[in-house]
Amino acid sequence: MLFTIEVNNKQIKALKGETILSALNRNGISVPTLCYMPKLSPTGACRMCVVEIEGKSDLIPSCSFPVEEWMKIRTHSPRVIKARKTLVELLLANHPDDCLYCVRNTNCELQKLASEHNVRERRFHGRKSVLKLDQSCAPIVRDPSKCVLCGRCVRVCSEIIGVSTFEFTNKGIDTAVGTTYGKPLNLSNCITCGQCILECPTGALYEKESFSLLQETLHNTEIYPVIQCSPSVSVAIAEEYGIKAGKDFQGLLFAALRKIGFRKVYDTGFGNDINALNVATELADRIRNNEKLPMFNSCCPAWVKYAEQYLPELLPQLSQQRSPQQLMGRLIKQNLFTANSISPEKIFSVSVMPCTAKKFEAQRQEMTFNSVSDVDMVLTTRELAKLFRLNGIDFTAGESELADSPFGIKSTASRLYGISGGVAESVLRSLHFQLTGIEMPQVKVPKIRGLKARKDVRIQMGDFEVGVIAVSTVIQLQQVLKEIESGKSVYHLIEVMACPGGCINGGGQPFTKDENALTARMKAIYDSDEKDSVKSAHKNPGINEAMRLIIKELEGNETHNKFVATFEKRSVLL
Amino acid sequence: MENGYYLPMQRFLTREILSRQSEPPDKEELEIISFFRHERIKNPILFLGSASCGKVSGASKLHEEILEYLNIYGINGEIHEVGCIGLCSMEPLLDIQIPGKTRVSFAKVNSDNLTDILDGVFNNTIISDFVLGQYRSDFLEPWPHTPFIEELHFFKYQKRLILRNCGIISPGIIEEYIAKDGYRRFIKAIRTYAPEKVCSIIEESGLRGRGGSGYLTGQKWRAALTTADDQKYLICNADESDPGAFMDRAIMESDPHTVIEGMAIAAYAIGASRAILFMREEYKLAKERMQLALQQAKTYGILGEDIFKSGFNLTITIRTAPGAFILGEETALIACLEGKRANPRQKPPYPAQSGFQKKPTVVNNLKTLANIPLIMQNGPLWFRSIGTEESKGTKVFCLTGKTVNTGIIEVAMGTTLKEVIFIIGGGIPENIPFKAVHVGGPLGTALTEDKLDTALDYEGLRKVGANMGSGGLVVIDHNGCMLDLARFYMEFLQHESCGKCIPCREGTRRMTEILTSITKRPANESSHETLERFKGIMQLESLAGVIKETSQCGLGQNASNPVLSILQQFRTEVEEHIFDRNCKAGVCKELRVFFIDTDKCTGCTVCAKKCPTNAIIGTPTNPHFIVENKCIGCGICYETCKFVAIFVK
């Protein structure tokens, strides 16, 4: 039901039951917010969105107050502005004054609020909370002294992801966001998906970076730096430069990476193809033998960590294939050694991922060969953008280039890995061929496409009706597992992505306030699926060569598990 | 019938009394009632004040000593542990009733005077040094030359309704409560009234929430009653976290069945079959007594399924959590009960629509619920006749600070502050002039002498800019420093804020810091610190305003009250602290300035040697002198001087 309210002496339409903020936003009136998260229930913690309502003695938080018909609202009266400014000043009074050194400098919501409200003097002096920097976790650094206690990380972790690593601890002035028993992050149940980093308005959460080491390596002639780049990076990185989301910059990106000084530039998409093919083979075997079903993907390291922590009984059901990044890492080092006689210790293998959990995956103990890491460093999309800036490279200028061979060719299915449902779709394309010996008549599976958190499809493949479900975020998985347990649903393949929407919305992607960015990134990927003719992993001609390399190794020595992933129960404080 | 409390026959008869309701009790039942009211006793009964206040004053030890005394002299007496009559400063209290005589109360009983008191009473004489007073009774012979309790100033001006049984009956014996008409109102309500009718009665009575907000209880109930749902909840809030407030604890320890009956009637009125009594974990004794009382009520069939064949079911559970001031906020309390962090949330929706487990819930303060049995018994009109136009009934206050009598008092709404402090409280000891009274706990306001005629009711207090809060009254005499008090409350609040909204969390911290800076000497003389401090005070007012209008819950909205009240009413005192750096009361340690009395100083040089800042100068055997600018007020010289030559100004 629509009714009219008065805002700043103008009539606007509001819907019954919505909050004041939602009515204002729909009518193009903006009010500053800090703790507000569009998809979640409001907490009204920051009070930044207060507005003045005629007849109310107090200022009303618009994010959590239902709109009513009699309301006469003023969003920017002197009283409101004074209150907001004081709130920002209070926050700044307990914030380290080190913006210039902060990772979020120029990209910080608190900084923006301070500048919007014209804060020009330090009115409040006094003690600042001193809290310890937590660098224990491989991908994520937490600086609690920069925390403004908006609670967005707490809510994203518990309500969207479903892990609840963070919670408010203590009370009053000692309130802080912390982990269970205040343990460091590496001992907590954090699955390192990095969604909290995307939510954090300040520099309290950020990915761990080691630019100086990289910079040094790039200019060290002794070392052979190579890089692989995930397909989800190229559709998002441009947003860091203020370019509207939705354009794919893969070719230009490859060219720019070579300009920085990487000797070889590979496409992780090739790894996706091998992964899809192997998973399909594995799944076909399991379906024929009817064992260890449903099978789960293991290419999302955050999901793998979750399974190791919470669902150790399901670990045998995880696909035993390495993730594309680690597969590529192994292949790159192996190939450069056999083809160019470069010893693996001399190679510095970097990967660019839309993900923070990949940083965790790269340093897992089993991801090494003869004590040499397969992937030496993982950069996020954001970090790559910083690297370009550091080296003065505008990647949007110049000519497109191709990835280096022998891993240069890839199917369009490989690109789908970036979206929740994409892994399942690429696996299905190859699975059909594996199970029936003929190609899938219609390779597109629209039912598991899109940004929905849960998508499922049943496809008849020869004698088997294959049930596939794709879920993003583990909170959705918990629901699906309950259904499976109760016998309500039967699936053969369950694809789990830790981040909502999949890798295009990974914890390493650019910060964006654009609600349509995700859809645009997704569209760019689906568009690229239309372009090429090779649409399935098993039809990738390059794979044969890679497979030969793998098989040679498998036969060659005892380290036959080099391409197989192992998982084990992980005890953390849950 | 001696020692026969648990005879099945008596149980049966007591239950009969409950189930009969309308007809007047027969002879046998009257006898039971009379027995449990101790109207005719065969053996002496000793009532020992054994609430927390009594226990900390030594009641447990006394209990053993009395037993020993009775054993030695072969007296067949019983010791009843009773609660607290409110005179906490007089604990431990021991009442003795010997057959035929009225119950007589002795104050401040200890091991030294116990034997004298007991010797006296059992020999039919009373040692008047220790006596407090005797209880009036129609059936018993009064002691000569002994005042009646209700004639004492402390009690005379009180109107003890909620506290009527406190300290009188044994909290552990349900029959005593039933003998005082207990539970009959509840049974009557569930048998003869519709829930709607009970709501109307309470609405008509004009009862308002005693937790601080003063919202009309009947309206709250009706909102929950009219919200349709399969499950509703009643929550009784006895968390009580104001510093210096302990009336909920006293009521639970002294008269637990009143609480249960109030809760039961309220639950019936809103249609809740489950009720939760929430109290802080620290209230061990109260929890113990409440648990026992619940057990007894269950045995009598007062709680459980199909209570007295009315079809009404009710379970009451006790829940505890570490006490926190924020739990006074109902949404925070509900979150806490749900196992979440105790943060308040934005209202609407109100708990009456969506509360505990998203079900309609009424959260009432314990003192509100304790009123319910009385209103049901005497009717709304009776209740309306007590108190003032807008505020009906009585109010329990905790009188603490600098008065002769401290403790828990209950007065009719509208009683003036003067009456409470100077008559009931007995004035300020040693005739030190009165300075202020802080009303309403940490979120309250200090009132000066000219406001002493303020009537203690919701509107009266609002008129002078104060609020009732949960009913704390702290009396401050001329030796108290208002700044120090405000700082104490602000420090309390900055730690008790839930930490969720910025204005309350960060604002209280900065206000505390500004206040603290004023109670200290400037660290560096050369800077313009006086100016800075003055600016701080100017900011306090603007900051307080923002905190007030942007905070989410009552805690934040009222957090600046203590500061605003001293700024308005004690401006000179604040200015003295800032400009003269002087705390007249000598409370703010770091502002103290020490002087040497030249007549007394022998020039022993000890103080000069001990002074950490070399502020004391002088030659041996000649009087010394303190350089004011150098003195940091640490007080070491004061403590070390053997000749009492150093004094504070």
What tokens were used for B103?
């119950």
Give Cβ neighbours of residue A38 (< 8 Å, ≥ 6 apart).
A515
Q: Measured between alpha carbons, how far is residue B92 from residues B56, B109, B400 in Å?
A: 9, 6, 18
CA distance A544 to A555: 16
CA distance B177 to B409: 21
Is residue A539 assigned to a domain? yes
Residue A535 shares a structural domain with residue A427: yes
Domain with residue A363: its CATH number is 3.40.50.1780
Question: What residues in A contact B493, CB-CB < 8 Å?
Answer: 172
Minimum CA–CA partner of A174 in chain B: B495
CA distance B550 to B544: 10
Give the closest of B505, B513, B539 to A127, CB-based. Answer: B513
Distance between A230 CA and the closest CA of chain B, angstroms:
40
CA distance B378 to B385: 11
Domain with residue A25: its CATH number is 3.10.20.740
Residue A291 shares a structural domain with residue A405: yes
Mutate to test the interface with B, among A80, A90, A92, A145 (most CBs of B within 10 A): A90
CB contact under 8 A, B346 and A42: yes
Give Cβ neighbours of residue B404 (< 8 Å, ≥ 6 apart).
B89, B425, B426, B427, B428, B429
Give the closest of A50, A86, A173 to B494, CB-based. Answer: A173
Residue A427 shares a structural domain with residue A502: yes
Among A403, A349, A409, residue whose Cα is nearest residue A379: A349
pLDDT of residue B2: 40
Last residue of a domain, one of A41, A76, A111: A76
Q: Is the dihedral of CA B611, B617, B621, B622 positive or negative?
A: negative
What tokens were used for B263?
């809760």
Give Cβ neighbours of residue A221 (< 8 Å, ≥ 6 apart).
none
Among A550, A567, A35, A30, residue whose Cα is nearest residue A296: A567
Show the domain range for A517: 212-561
* Ranges of CATH 1.20.1440.230 domains, chain B: 483-580
Q: A557: exposed, middle or buried (C-beta count within 10 Å: 0-12, 13-18, 19+)?
A: exposed
What tokens were used for B63?
């209990």
pTM across the whole model? 0.90
Residue A392 shares a structural domain with residue A505: yes
Chain A interface includes B328 (CB < 8 A)? no
Minimum CA–CA partner of B502 in chain A: A46
Indicate if the pLDDT at residue B3 is higher than 50: no
pLDDT of residue B201: 96
pLDDT of residue A300: 96
What tokens were used for A403?
């990835």
Last residue of a domain, one of A182, A207, A232: A207
CA distance B40 to B32: 10
Is residue A82 assigned to a domain? no
Mean pLDDT lowest among A104-118, A164-178, A543-557, B373-387: A543-557
B95-137, pLDDT tens digit by residue?
999 998 999 999 999 999 999 999 999 999 888 888 999 999 8
Indicate if the pLDDT at residue B1 is higher than 70: no
Give the closest of B496, B499, B510 to A90, CB-based. Answer: B510
Q: Supply the CATH classification number for the domain B37-148.
A: 3.40.30.10
Among B217, B185, B258, B206, residue whose Cα is nearest residue B364: B217
CA distance B172 to B98: 21
The pairing of beta strand A205-207 with beta strand A140-142: antiparallel
Helix pair B366-384, B195-205: axis angle to 10 deg: 70
The residue to which tokens 């003295």 are assigned? B576
ipTM of the complex: 0.88
CA distance B595 to B590: 15
**Which letter does DSSP use for residue A549 in this model?**
H
CB contact under 8 A, A45 and B502: yes
Q: Using only C-alpha atoms, what is the Rg of chain B? A: 28
Domain with residue A125: its CATH number is 3.30.70.20
Residue A408 shares a structural domain with residue A276: yes
CB-side exposure of B590: number of CA atoms within 13 Å? Answer: 12
The beta strand positions in B404-519, using DSSP E, are 407-412, 434-439, 445-448, 472-477
B203-238, pLDDT tens digit by residue?
999 999 998 778 999 999 999 999 999 999 999 999
The residue to which tokens 């994409």 are assigned? A422
* Ranges of CATH 3.30.70.20 domains, chain B: 592-648
* Ranges of CATH 3.40.30.10 domains, chain B: 37-148
CB contact under 8 A, B546 and A93: no
What tokens were used for B348?
């609407």
Residue A140 shares a structural domain with residue A187: yes
pLDDT of residue A475: 94
Residue A380 shares a structural domain with residue A513: yes
| H helices present in B278-364, as ranges | 284-299, 330-337
Question: What residues in B contact A173, CB-CB < 8 Å?
Answer: 494-495, 497, 499, 505-506, 508-509
CA distance B276 to B238: 10
Distance between A16 CA and the closest CA of chain B, angstroms:
14
**Which letter does DSSP use for residue B89 in this model?**
G
B393-404, pLDDT tens digit by residue?
999 999 999 999
CB contact under 8 A, B501 and A46: yes
Minimum CA–CA partner of A92 in chain B: B506
Chain A interface includes B509 (CB < 8 A)? yes
Question: What residues in B contact A66, CB-CB < 8 Å?
Answer: 348
CB contact under 8 A, B550 and A174: no
Q: Supply the CATH classification number for the domain B483-580.
A: 1.20.1440.230
CA distance A218 to B295: 77
A48-63, pLDDT tens digit by residue?
999 999 999 999 999 9
Give Cβ neighbours of residue B161 (< 8 Å, ≥ 6 apart).
B371, B374, B386, B393, B394, B410
CB contact under 8 A, A94 and B509: yes
Instruction: Label residue A557 by pLDDT band (50, 70, 90).
Output: low
Is residue A569 assigned to a domain? no
Residue A202 shares a structural domain with residue A217: no
pLDDT, mean of residues A323-336: 91
Contact between B594 and B607 under an 8 Å Cβ cutoff? The reply is no
CA dihedral (A477, A481, A484, A486) in degrees, to 10, reads -130
Minimum CA–CA partner of A175 in chain B: B499
Give the closest of B495, B513, B548 to A172, CB-based. Answer: B495
CA distance A103 to B504: 29
Give Cβ neighbours of residue B428 (< 8 Å, ≥ 6 apart).
B402, B403, B404, B421, B434, B475, B477
Instruction: Label residue B289 by pLDDT band (50, 70, 90).
Output: very high
Contact between B172 and B6 under an 8 Å Cβ cutoff? The reply is no
Among B47, B64, B280, B289, residue whose Cα is nearest residue B169: B47
pLDDT of residue B128: 82
Give the closest of A59, A65, A151 to B550, CB-based. Answer: A59
Distance between B457 CA and the closest CA of chain A, angstroms:
22
pLDDT of residue B21: 63
Distance between A267 CA and the closest CA of chain B, angstroms:
46
Residue A259 shares a structural domain with residue A331: yes
Minimum CA–CA partner of B507 in chain A: A90
Instruction: Label residue B9 by pLDDT band (50, 70, 90).
Output: low
The values of phi and psi at residue B535, to 5°, are: -60, -40
Q: What is the DSSP string of A292-339?
A: S-SEE----HHHHHHHHHH-GGGGGGB--BPPHHHHHHHHHHHHHHHH
Last residue of a domain, one of A173, A207, A241: A207
In this prediction, what percent of chain B has a pLDDT beyond 70?
96
Mutate to test the interface with A, among B241, B504, B549 (most CBs of A within 10 A): B549
Is residue A573 assigned to a domain? no
The residue to which tokens 């910079």 are assigned? A215
A142-188, pLDDT tens digit by residue?
999 999 999 999 999 999 999 999 999 999 999 999 998 889 999 99
Give Cβ neighbours of residue A56 (< 8 Å, ≥ 6 apart).
none
CATH architecture of B394-479: Roll (3.10)
pLDDT of residue B591: 82
**Which letter does DSSP use for residue B329 in this model?**
S
Into how many domains does chain A fold? 3
pLDDT of residue A559: 46
Question: What residues in B contact A148, CB-CB < 8 Å?
Answer: 502
* Ranges of CATH 3.10.20.600 domains, chain B: 394-479
Residue A108 shares a structural domain with residue A52: no
CA distance A164 to A154: 7
Q: What is the DSSP string of A65-88?
A: SB--TT-EEESS-HHHHHHHHHHH
Q: Per the CATH hierarchy, to which homologous superfamily does domain B174-384 belong? A: NADH-ubiquinone oxidoreductase 51kDa subunit (3.40.50.11540)
Is residue A85 assigned to a domain? no
Using DSSP's 3-state secondary structure scheme, residue A562 falls into helix
* Ranges of CATH 3.40.50.11540 domains, chain B: 174-384
Question: What residues in B contact A43, CB-CB < 8 Å?
Answer: 343, 345, 500
pLDDT of residue B22: 60
Among B215, B255, B221, residue whose Cα is nearest residue B238: B255
Residue A382 shares a structural domain with residue A498: yes
CB contact under 8 A, A168 and B341: yes
Residue A408 shares a structural domain with residue A263: yes
pLDDT of residue B581: 82
B21-32, pLDDT tens digit by residue?
666 677 777 888
What's CA A65's distance to the chain center, in Å?
Answer: 32
B58-101, pLDDT tens digit by residue?
999 999 999 999 999 999 999 999 999 999 888 899 999 999 89
Chain A interface includes B505 (CB < 8 A)? yes
pLDDT of residue B5: 47
Region of residue B265 (left: phi > 0; alpha: psi -120 to 50; beta: else): alpha
What kind of fold does domain B592-648 have according to CATH? Alpha-Beta Plaits (3.30.70)
**Which letter does DSSP use for residue B559 in this model?**
T
Is residue A566 assigned to a domain? no
